[in-house]
Amino acid sequence: MIDQTAFAQAFASANLPGAVGMIVDAGGTRFSEALGVADVNSAAAMAEDTQFQIASMTKALVSLAAMQLVEQGRIGLDDPIGTVLPDLADPQVLLGFDPQGKPLLRAAARPITLRHLLTHTAGLGYFFIHPEVLQYFGAVGMPAPGSIASLRMPLMFDPGERWEYSVAIDWAGLAVEAVTGQRLGDYMAEHVFAPLGMTATGFHQSLAEGAAQVHVRDGEGKLKVQPMFLGGGEFDMGGGGLTGTAPDYARFVRAMLRGGELDGKRVLRPETVAEMCRNQTGALRAGYMGSAMPNLAQPYDTFPDQHTGWTLGFLTNPEPGPNGRSAGSLAWAGIFNSYYWIDPAKGLGGVFMSQLSPFGDAGALACFGALERMAYA
């Protein structure tokens, strides 16, 4: 029996505007609760079907879409991705900067592959995490947010040699477009969202009316709205552009627990899901993110005491987690403090959504931890 009060108790101590928590298994929903408000200005109550910017929780869904094409033989995991994406055909590695600040580059030792993109081992980075990427854009000109130019950067290392969180899944989404001839959102609406019954998830040009607003805390801890929107722009941002609801994302979690099928609709074969769940990074430790912009995302490490790995879409923990999840579980998060986990071994998963900046908020993580402990109690 789930303790129905633990999540609300954690929320009461967290100083969050609002949140939705869900616990699911392969058969359905075990727990769902919406607390607080979606917008402190309007005081609109949070609802279980409130729209959220799910940010980097987008990545796992786009990875699924890419793996559909791998499963169909339309793209190879280990083929040079430059044949599909000319922008990545001649990757250059950033060596540093000359005294005048000009970037110093050399040719990469090997091509980038789709496997490199899906595992964040391509050598790419993020401007808000990696100071060298921020310095590079400072030297060549800061691209407009939501532009393809914002993805064009040199590599920080040769493909396959390190793990660094990055724009790689944005490129994977563009690869889906190149292979299918469809806009990413159109492909996913037809082949991912519709079969999974994710009726409230999609790429949009602006935040829908009634959606949860992003909040920050002022110097006294008081919550205020800070308008921020990750969608829009000139491409469907596969790394973080989706808006959706907690119940929709919980359907994806359940489909992964069920080996790629939900309500009689199959999106991946069981063997493809098994490959998506397998650690792909071996001796390379994955999951730690530094920060070049702590006001947007603080340094973050889900399991600092474990040699965590990365699958074809997810963080994976080699040892059991402190709140109950099994070794080999899958997880990740969105930059506005939304989090999820998928535990294939025990057939459990959970979704926690809030809209607060910066990422890595202690109160949000405490709520997510309480949700997880409830699932395994």
Domain boundaries, the chain: 6-376
The widest CA-to-CA distance across the chain, in whole angstroms, is: 65
**pTM of the predicted protein model:** 0.97
Catalytic member of 56, 63, 291, 354: 56
Our answer to whether residue 354 is catalytic in this structure is: no
Assess whether 165 carries a catalytic annotation: yes
In the residue annotation, 56 being an active-site residue is answered as yes
What is the distance between the alpha carbons of residues 247 and 104, in angstroms, rounded to a whole number? 47
Per-residue pLDDT of the chain (377 residues; tens, 9 = 90+): 667 799 999 999 999 999 999 999 999 999 999 999 999 999 999 999 999 999 999 999 999 999 999 999 999 999 999 999 999 999 999 999 999 999 999 999 999 999 999 999 999 999 899 999 999 999 999 999 899 999 999 999 999 999 999 999 999 999 999 999 999 999 999 999 999 999 999 999 999 999 999 999 999 999 999 999 998 899 999 999 999 999 999 999 999 999 999 999 999 999 999 999 999 999 999 999 998 888 889 999 999 999 999 999 999 999 999 999 999 999 999 999 999 999 999 999 999 999 999 999 999 999 999 999 999 99
Helix, strand, coil percentages (3-state) for the chain, rounded to 5, are 30, 20, 50
Active-site residue identified among 126, 136, 165, 300: 165
CB 224 within 8 A of CB 216: yes
Question: What is the Cβ-side half-sphere exposure of residue 221, based on CA atoms within 13 angstroms?
Answer: 6
Strands 44-45 and 52-53: unpaired
Give 151's DSSP letter: G
Secondary structure tally for the chain: helices H, strands E: 10, 17
29 DSSP β-pair partners: 24
By CB neighbour count within 10 A (0-12 exposed, 13-18 middle, 19+ buried), where does 80 fall? Answer: middle
Q: How far apart are CA 239 and CA 59, in angstroms?
A: 5
Q: Which CATH architecture has domain 6-376?
A: 3-Layer(aba) Sandwich (3.40)
